[in-house]
Amino acid sequence: MATLLPNVQQTSAGAAPPEHAWLQLVQAQVESALAQLFELPDEQGLDARWTQAAAQARAYALRPAKRLRPALVLAGHGLARGSTSVPQGLWRFAAGLELLHTFLLIHDDVADQAELRRGGPVLHRMLAPGRPGEDLAVVMGDHLFARSLEAMLESGLPGASRVARYYLGVCRHTAAGQYLDLDLARVPLAEVTLFQTLRVAHLKTARYGFCAPLVCGAMLGGADEALQQGLERVGRSVGLAYQLRDDLIGLFGDAAVAGKASDGDFMQAKRTFPVVAAYVRATPEGREELERLWALPVECKDDAALARARELVEHFGGRAACERAVERASRAARRSLQTLPNPHGLRDLLDALITRLSRRAS
């Protein structure tokens, strides 16, 4: 057994906030478990080129990251068990879930033609230049998907196969959200509604990134239906706040802080909440200019076009509307959280984490 957060409710003067210490502990344990998932004796000697590619994928997966999903798995488990003790198999399950997230990021980066992820080059740029690198990254992503399922199923935890099936069902909805996110980029802004942007945020991020990890952990801890539903409500709201904050970072963020391009959503013509919120509030002339800017070919989206796009979204209230939506969703998450138990201060820790995420810059 390993112990998570032995003194959650006791923070000495001058110490780091408990949620920060919690994430640091989770990061260290999960990254150790992640590294173990890349130890595959049956693949040794397959081919030197595959060995090299696998080493690059390992380096990509182990870059410093938040590891939020594993942290939420452990929080859900702790709330269900009323304990901060973590079965060894839970670290492996959480690492498998994080590896599945890595697989999704690799495919997402290919689809978005991204260049940066977590402060370094995306995997398809690491593997080879141009289209060959993209093809190779898709294949490596498929490999990590299979490995992630192996890890979850071989965790040895009671009910692991049932929980993995639940998570995979959620991932099907994630695919639908990613499809809509990409497909709506071809639709005129006039035909996109704020409701559609919220649906994409719920499907693409909130369910798989927040609801499901909390519920998976709770299921593995033997939670009853009421606790699972309560965690689902928390995850839905905090996941929405997270994605809407990501929409702001994707247009107004600092690449040096975020670890990824701050113009990516504009370059890929994403119909995100702040853009559509600005469009519905804009004058007829403003709407025409927003349509024209978002319809520009990628090669014409220079610094001047980006600056003008940011200016219009700010001027017509899209940025402020998105900030308000983040705040509303965060408040809703915290209200839902107050209905849950608080063993060893775990609920308080999640409350602090929600506040931290709503104000993040990366």
Query: Is 1 contained in some domain?
Result: no
User: What CATH number corresponds to the domain at position 78?
Assistant: 1.10.600.10
Residue 257 forms part of a structural domain:
yes
Q: Tell me which residue range forms the domain holding 68.
A: 19-359
Residue 13 covered by a domain: no
What is the tally of structural domains in the chain? 1
How much is the mean pLDDT over the chain?
92
- What digits encode the pLDDT tens for the residues 90-122? 999 999 999 999 999 999 999 988 899 998 999
Query: Is position 315 within any domain?
Result: yes
Please give the Cα distance from 87 to 334 (Å, whole number). 28
pLDDT band per the 50, 70, 90 thresholds, residue 361? confident
> Is 14 a domain residue?
no
The pLDDT assigned to 256 comes to 74
The pLDDT value recorded for residue 261 is 72
Would you tell me how many other CB atoms lie within 10 Å of the CB of residue 61? Answer: 24
Any domain includes 157: yes
**Would you state the pLDDT for residue 254?**
80
Q: Are 18 and 352 in contact (CB under 8 A)?
A: yes
pTM: 0.92
Is residue 166 in some structural domain? yes
Does pLDDT of 13 surpass 60? no
Predicted confidence at residue 6, as pLDDT, reads 47
Q: Is residue 137 part of a domain?
A: yes
